[in-house]
Structure 1
């Protein structure tokens, strides 16, 4: 008898082992008793913990047994728990197949692709961003901090390091067009490369720049758009070679802003580099940014620690965090919505990288806002508080979305919440001694 894994892509077959015949039978029996077909999150969490622990100890037989149970719970078109389980199961299977492909009974190829998501049109991408405040929260809060920092300044240069294809900037351009003292000259610089992660766009960054320039022209905002060319597709190589005053063409009469949206997580920790001072590391990156003397640095990212060296710990943290988008989408989109499936597939791709890989192949290295704040202070940056106007604008934005979304204001950041659980943080920073 064989059972099939339901997924958005190819089906994978798992053998049906005797679930309770194992050297760890008693503990496994306790974890599995009554869970077959159960949708309880706590039961699923226990199963995932057993499976991840088994893979860490190279116990493929035990992992296979637990995955068979998960396979009977998972469904890519079921309720949020089933859909989330389906993503985790695929990630665990891909990891197990590399550990012992013969025992798993199949060879996985999908796990090696981080760019399998379908590129979207600009219109589709705008709809994707508008589904939830997951991205727009950071856009709104960061733009508010930037607007305040450049008040009265005639020339502004923004270095935009993000994965969201400049979707943040039309709103800022529109706000600058209405500035009482008149719009400043705005220059935006973006890298020619980005981490190979969703969301993907079907037009080039140069085309994005042309569209932004046309929009700025329609708002009478003087505008320039520059692309930092990098011959290598690695964002780390860009950081090492391109972030210098000469390559950025920094000008003394410009207010210089660095905007980081979901970017730092794709830089490795220090121990992953060849040496502890490697510029591509998170701390090395912040050292380079400090040397550029920015007037403001904004950082937005997902508020969870998903970079533990332990697979079991990483799996639990990931499960207890990434239920949020699955639960939120359930509140307003039908189960077979193409938009919902695309969004969840992108989250599944993230899960697959976090769970399925280690070393350089694991590029998702998310850390919490609190950890980021400590890192920024260590790098000689001081927190810049968000003004009340920005807080009001963020709250107004959240009112446009489904109930359940909220915001909390912490010491160094604004945090987007879903049903009280932290999801995304935004922070603003200035080099020590540079705040007005």
Structure 2
């Protein structure tokens, strides 16, 4: 038996059960001192990060005995209902076990299936609204993008906003209100929404009539088109977006580009440029799961860093028993499995290979875009937004390539404005 076979055989012994889509490993200690070691693990305020990093390193080295020992310790200490360390241990344990047993693809598809069966428009809407109520994680990008879009399209009579995002139109009511109060004639707005996931396609059936009704109330001439025939964003073409003569085009990409396969990102950006937009707004989470994907330990450390910040933010923002918090955490669990335990070619699944602002900036410049700074008015609007939330949030203005939302000085979301050169 070769080294890799021995490694898989040793790890595959635990009995596994599931609970709400989460793995539970019924493992036995490999040494008599394992229970003592597990108890020692709680002595460190950051015990989860330490044990998880040790386990990732052992997996990289294919050290079967150490892996089994550490997986057992993590399983004894982890809980999706505990404190932040216990939750991180629970969700990363699932990904590590899937990685060890080469079961990531099957686990990920199971988690997605469970989510889709329990998904409804009302539950998604309530989750989004509650998250926006307690955290600026998403509203930061909405305010920054809407402000830049309105300024770029000032005075244009016919607007076409192409929405390639995961926001389910939650950012557009404020844009419609702003258009309704313009001092010049109210422009005509055509909104094209690219719905490239099953959940988005289903939700848009509920959202479309509500958006049309709201536009009528605001007195804004409005037309909504939903592109729902795509299996993935990488298939998007210029013809799909059907830009009409005389329209001033704005492209809004919020949390969308990371869902495109890494190899197809430059082509999607080129497709956007071919529309000759007046402005392109891009918002992405500040993490790099792309450039280090061939180095498991480095990718693991970056994934752990990013999700530790996210989980700590959720812990301080929501009530301890919040169902919405648990739903957001389980959404992260799927992402962690996708990043750490699946290859990049999982059929019918979006990419989770996030890239940082500087990486997206390089791609955009290579495609012929130029960065445009957010105006002082937009920056003031973002600052006013952050004052509505608890202490800990701040705005970082590092340079011309965009602005950052930070949680306790750690950049977490990047917002930027681009125009064709």
Q: Which residue of 2 aligns with 1:310?
A: 295
SS of 1:385's partner is coil
1:15 to 27, 30, 36: 27
SS of 1:82's partner is helix
Bigger drift between 10-19 and 152-161 goes to 10-19
- Decide whether the 8 Å contact of 2:234 with 2:268 is kept in 1: no
More helix by share: 2
Label 1:334 to 1:267 Cα distance change in 2 as closer, same or farther (>3 A): same
- State the 1:83 CA deviation: 1.3
- State the 1:359 CA deviation: 2.5
1:64 to 59, 68, 81: 68
The answer as to 2:334 corresponding to 1:331 is: no
1:158-169 matches, cutoff 5 A: 158-169=161-172
TM-score, L = length of structure 1: 0.83
Over aligned residues, Cα RMSD in angstroms? 2.8
Q: Which residue of 1 aligns with 2:119?
A: 119
Q: Which residue of 2 aligns with 1:140?
A: 143
1:26-425 matches, cutoff 5 A: 35-38=40-43, 40-41=45-46, 43-98=47-102, 109=107, 112-117=110-115, 118-120=118-120, 121=122, 122-194=125-197, 200=199, 203-230=202-229, 232-237=230-235, 239=236, 243-244=237-238, 246-270=239-263, 281-307=264-290, 308=292, 309-361=294-346, 363-411=351-399, 412-425=401-414
- State the 1:233 CA deviation: 2.2
Q: Which residue of 2 aligns with 1:25?
A: none
Paired with 2:22 and 2:88, the residues of 1 have a C-alpha distance of: 17
- State the 1:84 CA deviation: 1.8
The number of aligned residues is: 396
TM-score, L = length of structure 2: 0.86
SS of 2:394's partner is strand
- State the 1:228 CA deviation: 2.1
Which runs of 5 or more structure 2 residues have no equivalent in the other structure?
A: 1-13
SS of 1:410's partner is strand
- Decide whether the 8 Å contact of 1:264 with 1:282 is kept in 2: yes
